[in-house]
Amino acid sequence: MTDLRTSVIETVDRYAVELNNLSQQIWKNPELAFKEHSAHNVLTDFLEKTGFKVEKHYKIETAFKATFGDVDPSKPHIAVICEYDALPGIGHACGHNLIAEVGIAAGLGIKDILEKSDTKLGQLTVLGTPAEEGGGGKIILMKHGAFKTFDVAMMAHPTPATVTKIPILARSKLMIKYIGKASHAAGFPWDGINALDAAVLCYQNISCLRQQFKPTWRAHGVITNGGVKPNIIPDQTELEYSVRAPKDSELKLLESKIVKCVESAAQATGCKVEYEFGEHPYSAMLYNNTLCELYEKNASSVGVEFSMDESVKQSPLGSTDMGNVSTVVPSIHPCFHMGTLAANHTTDFTTAAGSPAAQTFTLKQGKALALTALDIYQSPDLLQKIKQDFIVDTQNA
């Protein structure tokens, strides 16, 4: 290893206890989307203490931007992404406390590179992004121009297995409301228009449509309001769906099919229907191949072991607003095993995310991202190849 590579590893190891403390503070105090005030303060205070220029409450109340290095448009500007929101009722069941720790660890390693290099290499931003769990924090930041100056964006996410390019689906939320007419269900049912019938038909229509789904398409929903009392014909019902597909273009096609299911249920029952797709749909993840290869090389060099199970590599993980970032900046979102085979969004995963056993895996990811940044800073040809890949990826999205 070169001196800078060795120094990156030593820097992350030197901060290991403090990094674990950051993660533990976030894990012990889970906060929901846009309410991550404690996590915001814990992370920004630490970044300020370690020499970053920090902009708190950056465009969103619980977002932040921490920068270091030389502002030079001719040099690479690398972003490392932190997440830190939790899930209702089950805390950090997606391990966002560890995502934040990876981001800060990588930031410290990259800062060390920029400080010790004999030449000016470029700029680093550690970007704190709230509300990944459904709120689309990164999308809001994108709309405010937060990603415009970045050449590369990187983060790493804990999952049961270590995979560089697990499929991450495009996703939209669909809110549906049926409006009927209330009546006494025993005495005057003929005077009513049953909004629950419409909701049930809608649910069944979409369930039947699944026979024609591609294997990678998903539509899953719940009836959130099914009426008030069994002796009152429901005059209003509501459903909520998530719709997913591996490409943004396929998502649009699937949405159009589901809309027909929604509208036909209203027509069959005589109800009125109101529906809308959410304001911040999540895009499919566009993995930059050159960047992924760099990451895999560097991760392997610090002892990361990748899953060889093809079924794991091809199984869709879910959706994230990092997918939207990948449509405007060359990006990676590797997933890493952190000591448990429990699935994300379970209480067992929550427990594992706060376990000491997760620390070795997490710190290796911070080192891998920092070493990947070093390669990019030191090789203009690599960055050019990354940008060429990005052009092709966005054209094929």
Angle at 296 between CA 329 and CA 312, to 5 degrees: 95
Residue 1 has pLDDT above 50, yes or no: no
Query: Is residue 100 very low, low, confident or very high in pLDDT (cuts 50, 70, 90)?
Result: very high
Q: What is the pLDDT of residue 225?
A: 98
Q: SS3 for 110?
A: helix
Q: Beta-strand (E) ranges in the chain?
A: 53-56, 64-69, 77-82, 123-128, 152-154, 157-159, 170-179, 218-225, 236-245, 272-277, 331-332, 335-337
Residue in the structure block whose two tokens are 């052009």: 391
In the chain, CATH 3.40.630.10 sits at 3-168+285-396
Query: Is residue 2 very low, low, confident or very high in pLDDT (cuts 50, 70, 90)?
Result: low
Question: What whole-number distance in Å separates Cα of residue 143 and Cα of residue 160?
Answer: 33
Q: What is the pLDDT of residue 315?
A: 78
Per-residue pLDDT tens digits for 176-215: 999 999 999 999 999 999 999 999 999 999 999 999 999 9
pTM of the prediction?
0.92
Token pair of 176 as six digits: 């549906």
**Order of strands across the sheet that contains 64-69:** 53-56, 64-69, 123-128, 77-82, 152-154, 331-332
For residue 243, list its beta bridge partners.
Answer: 172, 219
Q: How far is CA 293 from the centre of its chain?
A: 21
Domain 3-168+285-396: give its CATH code. 3.40.630.10
Q: CB atoms < 10 A from the CB of 380, how many?
A: 12
Residue in the structure block whose two tokens are 């398409």: 217
Q: What is the pLDDT of residue 377?
A: 97
List % helix, strand, coil for the chain (3-state, nearest 5).
Answer: 45, 20, 35
Residue in the structure block whose two tokens are 């049953």: 194
Q: How far is CA 46 from the centre of its chain?
A: 23
Q: What separation, in Å, do the N-terminal and C-terminal C-alpha atoms of the chain show?
A: 37
Which are the contacts of 62, defined by CB distance < 8 A and separation ≥ 6? 34, 35, 36, 37, 39, 40, 128, 130, 131
Per-residue pLDDT tens digits for 138-172: 999 999 999 999 999 999 999 999 999 999 999 99
Question: What whole-number distance in Å separates Cα of residue 56 and Cα of residue 53?
Answer: 10
Pick the CATH number of 171-277 from 3.40.47.10, 3.40.50.300, 1.10.10.10, 3.30.70.360: 3.30.70.360
Q: What is the pLDDT of residue 397?
A: 75
Residue range 265-279: average pLDDT?
Answer: 97
Sign of torsion, CA 27 32 34 38? negative
In the chain, CATH 3.30.70.360 sits at 171-277
What share of the chain has pLDDT > 70, as a percent? 99
Question: What whole-number distance in Å separates Cα of residue 164 and Cα of residue 177?
Answer: 40
* 8-state DSSP, 115: H
Q: Output the DSSP codes for 146-191.
A: TTTT-SEEE--EEESS-BSS--B-EEEEEEEEEE-B--BTTT-GGG
Nearest C-alpha neighbor of 303 from the set 242, 216, 355, 367: 367
Per-residue pLDDT tens digits for 303-340: 999 988 877 777 777 899 999 999 999 999 999 999 99
